[in-house]
Chain A
Amino acid sequence: ETGVTQTPRHLVMGMTNKKSLKCEQHLGHNAMYWYKQSAKKPLELMFVYNFKEQTENNSVPSRFSPECPNSSHLFLHLHTLQPEDSALYLCASSQDGWETQYFGPGTRLLVL
């Protein structure tokens, strides 16, 4: 595997479910990011991790819970989501800072 991978690619869940999104980067980068991409809205930065430490939480509701066990893996745990949380969730990594971020293909999430 090369680059940034995300699983699952598609996910349908009910509002009472608990699920997790997984991201893995094979680039040796130190920073990882979660973004939300909704129709008709700009890409929104959700969380930033540098060297496994969370350095930014962009006022994200607590029903989204990130986890970064090491510099190569990033998870987004989901529970009691709302239909308006349906979106494409993108993971990205970079060597440092905001420059040259490499994005994964995303997980298309539908909350019913």
Chain B
Amino acid sequence: TQLLEQSPQFLSIQEGENLTVYCNSSSVFSSLQWYRQEPGEGPVLLVTVVTGGEVKKLKRLTFQFGDARKDSSLHITAAQPGDTGLYLCAGVQYSSASKIIFGSGTRLSIRP
């Protein structure tokens, strides 16, 4: 069974602090997506990384795809209460049986 492990599962930090969320697998992915889900809503795509070693920035969020395309990280600088939510990574494989696999998520809470 292929798994995407996210860590930490829960994170509660003070506003203004930095944090990193990790997404790891033993499988290689064609691309990796990061979503944020708020209570009562469905996940919303933040970014897709495709190339090994790729780094993408979205304001205070920095996403990196591992060189071997097996892992990814999300770094948030100067966290704000509006960053609170469930962060999900999802790995996509394009092959004879293409599929998408989601990580179990990181629940982030930013205290004012």
Measured CB to CB, the residues of A under 8 A from B are: 4, 40-45, 56, 90-92, 97-106
In whole angstroms, how far apart are the Cα atoms of A101 and B102 in the complex?
A: 13
A98 & B40 in contact (Cβ 8 Å cutoff): no
Q: Enumerate chain A residues within 8 angstroms of B40, measured Cβ to Cβ.
A: 105
Minimum CB–CB distance from B63 to chain A (whole Å) comes to 15
B51 contacts the other chain (Cβ, under 8 Å)?
no
In whole angstroms, how far apart are the Cα atoms of A105 and B88 in the complex?
A: 16
In whole angstroms, how far apart are the Cα atoms of A55 and B12 in the complex?
A: 40
Within 8 A of A (CB), among B53-103: 88, 90, 92, 94, 98-103
B43 contacts the other chain (Cβ, under 8 Å)?
yes
Instruction: Give 8 CB contacts A-B under 8 Å.
Output: A4-B42, A41-B104, A42-B103, A42-B104, A43-B90, A45-B99, A90-B43, A101-B45
Query: How many of B's residues come within 8 Å of A, CB to CB?
Result: 22
Assess A42 versus B101: contact at CB under 8 Å? Given A101-B45, A103-B42.
Answer: yes
**A interface footprint on B28-41 (CB within 8 Å = 1, 0 otherwise):** 00010100000011
B88 & A43 in contact (Cβ 8 Å cutoff): yes
Assess A104 versus B42: contact at CB under 8 Å? Given A42-B4, A42-B105, A99-B31.
Answer: yes
In whole angstroms, how far apart are the Cα atoms of A47 and B35 in the complex?
A: 20
A40 & B104 in contact (Cβ 8 Å cutoff): yes
In whole angstroms, how far apart are the Cα atoms of A34 and B104 in the complex?
A: 17
Please give 11 more A-B residue pairs, beta carbons under 8 A apart, in addition to A91-B42, A97-B98, A101-B45. Answer: A4-B42, A42-B104, A43-B88, A43-B102, A45-B99, A90-B42, A98-B98, A98-B99, A100-B48, A103-B44, A105-B42
